[in-house]
Amino acid sequence: MKHLFPFVLVIALAACTEQAPKAVSSVDPVNWNNRKATLSATDSLVSGTSYLSVYSEIYSETEHRTHNLTSTISMRNTNLRDTIYIHKAEYFDTKGNAIRTYFDFPIFIKPMETVEIVIDEKDRSGGTGANFLFHWTMKPTSHEPYFEGVMISTSGQQGLSFTTQGKRIE
């Protein structure tokens, strides 16, 4: 028994130092402040708003069974020379309620660059009809930003994936 006490103490200390479950990484996976852009009111930029449908989960077999999905939301600049600016990225659930705003100030996306938001598989807050609104500006001669969602889920040897494309609504 005399030798058992240090062993029990080590186990007890290890249990006390266990870390809390990891927070959902999709809440702030990028330090958006590092991408902050300062724009002048004299810049002659064209503005727009784009809509992107995404899915936190999808129905399987019946409306009572769903599969959770990991979503990669890509904000792409298809220009070879011009930087574009995304001013706000808003995430909404199936019922149209705002879940979170990822940033609410202009960020830059360099030519041919892609900036991503990843929504964890365990983050089901968006539901089966989640969506994003992106508010953006660009030079009048530039190509509009391209928004794409890639949803994926794997379990054992089974997997499913699909994509959605953004649509300009303003």
Evaluate if residue 38 carries a pLDDT over 70.
Answer: yes
Which residue segment(s) compose the domain that 65 sits in?
34-168
Asked if residue 91 is part of any domain, the answer here is yes
29 pLDDT tier (thresholds 50, 70, 90): low
- pLDDT value for 91: 97
23 pLDDT tier (thresholds 50, 70, 90): low
Asked if residue 6 is part of any domain, the answer here is no
Bigger pLDDT: 157 vs 34? 34
Asked if residue 13 is part of any domain, the answer here is no
Asked if residue 4 is part of any domain, the answer here is no
**Alpha-carbon distance 99 to 135, whole Å?**
17
Q: Quick one: average pLDDT of 102-129?
A: 94
Contact between residue 150 and residue 161 where contact means Cβ atoms under 8 Å apart: yes
What's the pLDDT tens digit per position in 77-114? 999 999 999 999 999 999 999 999 999 999 999 999 99
41 pLDDT tier (thresholds 50, 70, 90): confident
Asked if residue 88 is part of any domain, the answer here is yes
Asked if residue 83 is part of any domain, the answer here is yes
Alpha-carbon separation of residue 59 from 46, 63, 149 (angstroms)? 39, 6, 18
Asked if residue 89 is part of any domain, the answer here is yes
- pLDDT value for 54: 96
Evaluate if residue 13 carries a pLDDT over 60.
Answer: no
CATH number for the domain spanning 113: value is 2.60.290
Total domains in the chain come to: 1
**Alpha-carbon distance 128 to 94, whole Å?**
6
- Mean of per-residue pLDDT scores for the chain: 85
Q: Quick one: average pLDDT of 69-83?
A: 96
Asked if residue 18 is part of any domain, the answer here is no
